[in-house]
Amino acid sequence: MVRRDDKMIDENTIREDTGKRHRHKYENPNFFHQLFLGRFIDAVARELKSLPPGRTLAFGCGEGFLLWELSRRGVRFDTLTGLDLRGDALKEAKEMLPEYHFVQKDLLTYNPSEGPFDLVIASQVLEHLPNPKIFLEKLISLARGPLLISVPLEPWFHLINLARGRDIGHFGHHPEHINQWGVRSFRKFVEAHATITRIYTVFPFIICAAERSTAGQPANPTGLAS
Q: For residues 157-176, b (16+ Cβ closer than 10 Å) or e, as one string?
A: bbebbbeeebbeeeebbbeb
Domain ranges of the chain: 52-151+178-211
Query: What integer pLDDT is reported at residue 217 of this predicted model?
Result: 46
Query: What integer pLDDT is reported at residue 190 of this predicted model?
Result: 98
Query: Are the CB atoms for 200 and 207 separated by under 8 Å?
Result: yes
Query: What integer pLDDT is reported at residue 131 of this predicted model?
Result: 92
Residue pLDDT, tens place only, 2-28: 333 333 334 556 656 565 555 666 677
What does the longest C-alpha to C-alpha distance in the chain come to?
Answer: 49
pTM for this predicted structure? 0.83
pLDDT above 90: percentage of residues in the chain: 65
At 56, give phi and psi (nearest 5°): -125, 140
Average pLDDT score over the chain: 84
Query: Are the CB atoms for 135 and 126 separated by under 8 Å?
Result: yes
Residue pLDDT, tens place only, 171-206: 455 667 789 999 999 999 999 999 999 999 999 999
In whole angstroms, give the CA distance from residue 204 to residue 163.
13
pLDDT band at 48, cuts 50/70/90? Answer: very high
**3-state SS class at 101:** strand
Query: What integer pLDDT is reported at residue 66 of this predicted model?
Result: 96
pLDDT band at 95, cuts 50/70/90? Answer: very high
pLDDT band at 132, cuts 50/70/90? Answer: very high
- The CATH number of the structural domain formed by 52-151+178-211 is 3.40.50.150
In whole angstroms, give the CA distance from residue 16 to residue 86.
11
Calculate the alpha carbon distances from 54 to 155, 194, 214 in Å. 35, 20, 21
The mean pLDDT of 55-70, rounded to a whole number, is: 96
Calculate the alpha carbon distances from 33 to 15, 36, 79, 152, 195 in Å. 23, 5, 31, 14, 32
